[in-house]
Amino acid sequence: MIISFYSYKGGVGRTQLCANVAAYLSIYKNKKVLLWDWDFEAPGLHVYYNKKNEEIESKGTIELLDIYVRIMRSKNNVQESDLPYLSKDYFTTLIPETTECGRVDLLPAGNYSGNFAQKVNNFNWQEFYELLDGVNYIELLKKQLNDFDYDYVFIDSRTGISDYSGICNIQLPELTILMMTPNEQNFAGCSRIAKQIIESDYVKNKYRNPWIMPILSRLDLNNKTYPEWIKRFTTNFSYLLPNIDTKIDTEFITEIFEDIYLNQTLLEYNTAISTGENKLFVNANTPIIKVSFERKFVNIAQFIENLNESYSLNIYNQIDSETWLNYACNANKQKQTRKEIIAYANAGDYKKANELGGTASSWFEEGNNFMMKNDQIKSIECYLKAIKIKPDFQEALFNLGNAYYFINDIINAIEYLKKALEILPTNISTLLNLGIMYSKNEENINAIECFQKIIELESNNVSALNNIGFAFIKLGEIAKAENYLLKSIDLGNKFRGNMNVGHVYFCQGNKEMAFEKYKMSFSNSKTKESFFVDYDDDFKYLEKNSITKKDYDFMKDRLIEYSTLK
């Protein structure tokens, strides 16, 4: 995952955050991190790892780009193989890898000895991007970075609005971290960058997500203007939160941003580290105090990990029932009924939420509660209210179909299961239950279509194999039934599989083989009674296949005799 750390002005702690999050992930989480220094005017990541300029002996980004420019200027027909590639020769190790620790490497802005400043000043970014196809070369570098074994690439971007800010903030990263201190220039500058990212063609064309994490730093909690800056930061940047945690209800963005997100990420002013280049994480054996400045760095690192692993900050999952009930109480005082309903629903008090009008999810959950109590009538009422609010609520449609089945209303069961299937056409559970409903309604061709789709998606689905086999028996297509049923037996369907294969052999006139399969089915039945209930119930389908009641009862007598010997 490539992450850019950006600040509009210097002195906000951007490089400090970048260097320390990398150190934490390496030392405590065993991650491999590449630090990429794009701050050409004031490169400094290496200083946090006690490296001096003269100790950075490798070439860096500016040399790489210079080589690219020379090649593009000198050739008319440049092939990809002609271009300079990133290699480990460009990297300097800052934290070496061990069995107990990851690794931190540095891709420096350049080789800081000699004429580094001159190279930076002479580089023509407009020519690189607009005339020499620089945009595609950056894409190539991005691809190469992903081919290395790094878990994360952290870009320390330069301040302000530079010629190459679009590279660092839009094109390269999957996530942009915007750092700012509480002043007008920082807020305005970071707001402008956030807007540029979101409105860029790169985001609109879905080359990257609009993932932006705003971080407020160096706010003095003892300053009387502290609450004002918190409010302004929330007003200006809380709208970014749902992009990185899609579960967040838009009605509660302000509360969640202040109470959860900001509480965990605010880097308040700390005199102990306000001077010098401080690396806060050195040894994994050093415990990190829960309430500490270091903990904020850890929280930010964990949010990055969450985004990388589950595409969400997972803030929503941190909000407990008590917090939601407080939100409900506040909403009630402000006469904001919609927010009150949502808060009660999220607190798990579905009954209270529904008394106020409810949400689709609160009616769904209360329906589930009634289903658990076997009160299908009330569960149906709840599910109907849920889909009235949200007609494409697949889970509610599915459960509603099942509830109708439990009260033996097969027609309505089929109707709602079909609607659920329209929303998720490849859902195995919906296909299976709908197939069973069709089968019970003697719509065996429709049933077979459902079971066949399941088998196409999941060839070893035992229930589908057994049910399609039985459906073919009901249609009198005995030969088609046999292979499906035998396969289901091989996969563990010993009770119904053997009984149904017994039916196949019976229909084919092979009574002794049928008897053997029935014995196997009996041996795998839960009880003697359950076996004979199923056996008796199946006759109505088998008599269509020229099996007489006399022959079927005679077979039953043999099975009863066998069961007494067992």
* DSSP string across 326-394: HHHHHHHHTT-HHHHHHHHHHHT-HHHHHHTT--HHHHHHHHHHHHHTT-HHHHHHHHHHHHHH-TT-H
pLDDT band at 279 (very low <50, low <70, confident <90, very high): confident
The phi, psi pair for 93, rounded to 5°, reads -80, 130
Give me the pLDDT at residue 77, please: 84
Residue type, 258: E
Task: Tell me what pLDDT residue 357 has.
Answer: 95
Q: Comparing C-alpha atoms, which of 267, 277, 266, 279 is closest to residue 95?
A: 279
pLDDT at res. 334: 92
pLDDT digits (tens, 9 = 90+) for 209-245: 999 999 999 998 888 999 999 999 999 999 999 999 9
> Percent of the chain, pLDDT > 70?
99
* Average of per-residue pLDDT values in the chain: 92
**Total Cβ atoms within 10 A of residue 149:** 8
**Side chain identity at residue 538, one-letter code:** D
Average pLDDT over residues 121-130: 88
Q: In degrees rounded to 5, what are phi and psi of residue 216?
A: -95, 130
**pLDDT value at position 221?**
86
Mean pLDDT of 99-103: 87
Taking the C-alpha atoms of residue 32 and residue 149, their distance in angstroms, rounded to an integer, is 7
Among all chains, which residue has been given the structure tokens 């609520």? Answer: 393
Helix, strand and coil in the chain, % to nearest 5: 65, 10, 30
What's the pLDDT at 369?
A: 95
Q: Which of 497, 499, 489 is nearest to 532 (CA)?
A: 499
At 535 the pLDDT is 94
Q: What is the pLDDT of residue 162?
A: 64
In this prediction, residue 500 carries a pLDDT of 95
Helix ranges restricted to H, 91-160: 116-122, 125-126, 134-147
Average pLDDT for 65-72 = 92
- The pLDDT score that the predictor gives to residue 492 is 94
Summarize pLDDT for 290-336 with one digit per residue, the tens.
778 889 999 999 999 999 999 999 998 889 999 999 999 999 999 99
In angstroms, what CA-CA distances link 172 with 83, 136, 176, 480?
Answer: 19, 11, 10, 56
d(CA 278, CA 209): 32
- Identify the residue with better confidence: 217 or 285: 217
Enumerate domains of the chain plus CATH numbers: 2-319 (3.40.50.300), 320-355 (no CATH), 356-565 (1.25.40.10)
Which pTM value belongs to this model? Answer: 0.75
CA distance 475 to 66: 75
List Cβ neighbours of 560 (8 Å cut-off, separation of 6 or more): 532
Q: What is the pLDDT of residue 341?
A: 95
Compute the distance between CA of residue 403 and CA of residue 452 in angstroms, rounded to an integer. Answer: 25
Residue 566, pLDDT score: 67
CA distance 63 to 562: 87
* Closest by CA position to 61, among listed 132, 160, 158, 196: 158
pLDDT of 513 strictly over 70: yes
Q: In the predicted model, what is the mean pLDDT of residues 177-187? A: 94
Average pLDDT over residues 179-201: 94
What gap in Å lies between CA 470 and CA 448, rounded to an integer? 9
pLDDT single digits (tens) 32-63: 999 999 988 888 899 999 888 888 888 899 99
The residue behind tokens 């502290």 is 226
pLDDT-derived band at 163, boundaries 50, 70, 90: low
Instruction: Indicate the pairing of strand 103-107 with strand 32-37.
Output: parallel
pLDDT band per the 50, 70, 90 thresholds, residue 385? very high
- Is the pLDDT assigned to residue 165 strictly greater than 70? no
Query: Which pLDDT belongs to residue 164?
Result: 63
C-alpha–C-alpha distance, residues 142 and 509, integer Å:
69
Residue 468 has pLDDT above 90, yes or no: yes
Q: For residue 366, name the pLDDT band (cuts at 50, 70, 90).
A: very high
At residue 32, the pLDDT reads 95
Q: What is the pLDDT of residue 243?
A: 94
Looking at per-residue confidence, does 513 or 249 come out higher? Answer: 513
User: Which helix (H) or strand (E) segment is 104 a member of?
Assistant: strand 103-107
- For 522-543, write each residue's pLDDT tens digit: 999 999 999 999 999 999 888 8
**pLDDT(274) > 80:** no
Find where tokens 């579960």 sit. Answer: 247
Q: Mean pLDDT check: name the lowest of 44-48, 176-180, 338-342, 466-470.
A: 44-48
List 180's β-bridge partners, or say none.
Answer: 216
Report the alpha-carbon distance of residue 57 to residue 50 in Å, rounded.
Answer: 15
pLDDT of residue 55: 83
Say what the pLDDT of residue 19 is. Answer: 94
- Region label for 49, one of left (φ > 0), alpha (ψ between -120 and 50) or beta (otherwise): alpha
